[in-house]
């Protein structure tokens, strides 16, 4: 059985682990409360840019050293940035735990060298360009901007070409000093982990982390002006697109809300990518390439996304079918056997995912950073199994009745927006 352990170090850093010594690997990660929603206009894209710069050298390691040592420890290591957090993680053989903790902890105090910053700016601009070429051509970012406004949760994680081009390394250094403080961070581990050693080593490696100077308070944004490079037009024109892409966004449960399990199951019943109501109505019939619905939980709020991809001429009729499927659930609820089926499927998915320590790590670290709460696999399974048709009905009435924000990306002005 796995065992949950947690400790708060003297400097405020939280160390948590789900230890299961039967595992073949150990997953280790730093979870940092630094995401797009923490940025102001002049910092737009910095959480993500900074994530790249954390691999670019420390006081004692060059950029090449960092990459080389990550590879020397085998396994898989990477990082990602979201609206609310930046995560650095690695899955390694247990014998490399100490070396990986040493390396990751050192990376959390980066050099932020000006020349490396200038070179990496090119990589970030390439990353932005790469996503511009891929479906749905910025429609997810645009729907967030339209729904939440261009700031806060609506701020683009990658920033804009303009914000990155104009970014100064000192702005990054200040942002780093404000966000990468021990009280904003969690060191999480899962799998075959030596927890006592982890705590001891982390205590030594991070002892001086509070010495970071606190920068002056960041300027607040002029809400009357749109950040550079941002548009709020819900129509995205993509001249060469063959398909049309529609994204909608409305409210959903937050990361701590008790109805989040019901919402996840409800979304799965309506819009999972196989066997859901939308699947049978739109995908199985070949009417659409993608027709799906999923909740996204944030620390203080939640979102419900829908995504529809089809030929432009079928968009209007598909939107009608999609809305009908949603209305039907609001009106009539779901049947017990339908709920049982989705619970069985979800529970099996959780069990399968739980076998990889690296997959357990993300849930553990994010949830602790956000809510200071631990959920074991068994508790998670129970939470799904407890959901009944009444809870699904409540979730449907609470979250599916409002008018969502809608964005369509396509070659022409057809189809028209429904709102």
Partner 1 sequence: MLSTATPPVKTRKLANGMTVVWQQMPWLRTAAYTMWMPGGVSAEIMSVSSDFDPISRCGLASLTVEMVQRGAGPYNSRQLVAAEDNLGIDSNGSSSTSITGFSAAMPADSLVPAIGLLADLVRRPHLPIDQFDDAKMMLRQEMLANQDEPTQRLMRRLRERQYGVALGRSGVASPQSLETLTMDDVREFYTEHYHAGQSILSLAGNFDDAQVNDAIDAAFGDSKSGSWDGLPTPDPIDGHEHIELPSSQTHIGFAYDNIPYGHPEYFVMRAGIGILSDGMSSRLFDRVREKHGLCYSVFANTHSVPASTNREGKPIPAAGAVFGYAGTTPQRAQQTLDLTLHEIKHLCDDLEESELERWKVRIQSSLIMEQESANSRAGSLASDQFQLGRVMPTEELESIIEAITLEQIKTYYQSHTPESFRIVTIGPEPLAGGVLFDDSTNHAEGDNHE
Give the residues lining the site for partner 1 (CB under 8 A).
Answer: 22-25, 55, 63-64, 67-68, 70-77, 91-93, 119-123, 125-127, 129-130, 132-135, 239-243, 274-275, 280, 283-289, 309-311, 337, 340-342, 344-345, 347-349, 351-352, 355-357
Q: Would you say 38 or 51 has its CB closer to partner 1?
A: 51
Min. distance of Cβ 134 from partner 1 in angstroms?
7
Q: Would you say 38 or 272 has its CB closer to partner 1?
A: 272
Q: Would you say 114 or 123 has its CB closer to partner 1?
A: 123
- Closest among 3, 56, 119, 94 to 360, alpha carbons compared: 3
| Exposure b/e, 267-283, CB count within 10 A at least 16 = b | bbbbbbeeebbbbebbb
Min. distance of Cβ 342 from partner 1 in angstroms?
7
Min. distance of Cβ 94 from partner 1 in angstroms?
8
Q: Would you say 251 or 356 has its CB closer to partner 1?
A: 356
Q: Would you say 211 or 337 has its CB closer to partner 1?
A: 337
3-class secondary structure, 395: helix
Min. distance of Cβ 40 from partner 1 in angstroms?
25
| Phi, psi values for residue 90, rounded to 5° | -150, 140
Q: Measure the CA dihedral 209/94/89/111, to 10°.
A: 40
Min. distance of Cβ 124 from partner 1 in angstroms?
8
Q: Which two tokens stand for residue 231?
A: 């548009």
Min. distance of Cβ 358 from partner 1 in angstroms?
9
Q: Would you say 37 or 264 has its CB closer to partner 1?
A: 264
User: Which DSSP category does 256 fall into?
Assistant: T
C-alpha to C-alpha distance for 350 and 219, rounded to whole angstroms: 43
Q: Would you say 8 or 119 has its CB closer to partner 1?
A: 119
Beta bridge partners of 291: 308
3-class secondary structure, 19: strand
Min. distance of Cβ 325 from partner 1 in angstroms?
15
In the Cβ-directed half-sphere of 142, how many Cα atoms lie within 13 Å? 22
Beta bridge partners of 237: 410
> Residue 160, class by beta-carbon neighbours within 10 Å (0-12 exposed, 13-18 middle, 19+ buried)?
buried
Q: Would you say 9 or 241 has its CB closer to partner 1?
A: 241
Min. distance of Cβ 58 from partner 1 in angstroms?
15
Q: Would you say 122 or 323 has its CB closer to partner 1?
A: 122
Min. distance of Cβ 404 from partner 1 in angstroms?
23
C-alpha to C-alpha distance for 223 and 318, rounded to whole angstroms: 37
SS3 percent helix, strand, coil of the chain, rounded to 5, is: 45, 20, 35
Q: Which two tokens stand for residue 361?
A: 């790590």
Q: Would you say 235 or 345 has its CB closer to partner 1?
A: 345
Min. distance of Cβ 309 from partner 1 in angstroms?
7
Q: Would you say 115 or 224 has its CB closer to partner 1?
A: 115
Q: Measure the CA dihedral 63/69/72/77, to 10°.
A: -80
Min. distance of Cβ 414 from partner 1 in angstroms?
16
Q: What is the sign, positive or negative, of the torsion defined by CA atoms of 91, 93, 94, 96? A: negative
> Residue 251, class by beta-carbon neighbours within 10 Å (0-12 exposed, 13-18 middle, 19+ buried)?
middle
Q: Which residues contact 278 (CB under 8 A, 6 or more apart)?
A: 270, 271, 291, 292, 293, 322, 325
């Amino acid at each position: 059985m796995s065992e949950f352990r947690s400790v708060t170090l003297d400097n405020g850093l939280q160390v948590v682990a789900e230890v299961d010594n039967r595992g073949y690997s150990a997953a280790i990660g730093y979870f940092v409360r630094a995401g797009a929603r923490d940025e102001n206009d002049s910092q737009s894209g910095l959480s993500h840019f900074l994530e790249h710069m954390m691999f670019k050298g420390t006081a004692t390691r060059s950029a090449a050293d960092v990459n080389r040592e990550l590879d020397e420890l085998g396994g898989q290591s990477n990082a990602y940035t979201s609206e609310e957090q930046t995560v650095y993680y690695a899955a390694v053989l247990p014998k490399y735990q100490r070396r990986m903790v040493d390396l990751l902890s050192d990376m959390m105090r980066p050099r932020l060298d000006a020349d490396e910053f200038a070179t990496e700016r090119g990589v970030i601009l390439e990353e932005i360009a790469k996503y511009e070429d891929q479906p749905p051509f910025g429609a997810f970012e645009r729907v967030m901007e339209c729904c939440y406004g261009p700031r806060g949760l609506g701020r683009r994680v990658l920033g804009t070409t303009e914000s990155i081009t104009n970014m100064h390394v000192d702005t990054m250094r200040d942002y780093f000093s404000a966000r990468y403080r021990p009280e904003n961070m969690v060191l999480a581990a899962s799998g075959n982990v030596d927890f006592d050693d982890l705590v001891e080593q982390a205590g030594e490696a991070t002892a001086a982390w509070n010495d970071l100077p606190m920068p002056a308070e960041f300027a607040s944004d002029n809400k009357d002006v749109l950040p550079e490079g941002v548009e709020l037009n819900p129509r995205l024109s993509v001249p060469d697109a063959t398909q049309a892409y529609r994204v909608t966004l409305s409210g959903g449960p937050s990361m701590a809300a008790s109805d989040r399990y019901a919402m996840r199951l409800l979304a799965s019943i309506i819009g999972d990518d196989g066997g859901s109501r939308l699947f049978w109505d739109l995908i199985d019939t070949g009417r659409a390439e993608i027709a799906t619905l999923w909740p996204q939980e944030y620390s203080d709020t939640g979102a419900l996304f829908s995504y529809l991809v089809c030929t432009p001429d079928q968009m209007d009729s598909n939107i009608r079918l999609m809305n009908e499927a949603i209305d039907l659930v609001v009106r009539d609820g779901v049947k017990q056997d339908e709920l049982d089926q989705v619970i069985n499927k979800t529970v099996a998915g959780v069990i399968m995912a739980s076998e990889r320590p690296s997959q357990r790590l993300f849930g553990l670290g994010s949830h602790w950073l956000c809510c200071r709460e631990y959920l074991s696999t068994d508790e998670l399974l129970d939470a799904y199994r407890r959901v009944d048709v009444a809870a699904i009905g409540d979730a449907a009435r609470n979250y599916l009745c409002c008018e969502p924000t809608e964005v369509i990306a396509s070659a022409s002005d057809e189809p028209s927006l429904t709102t």
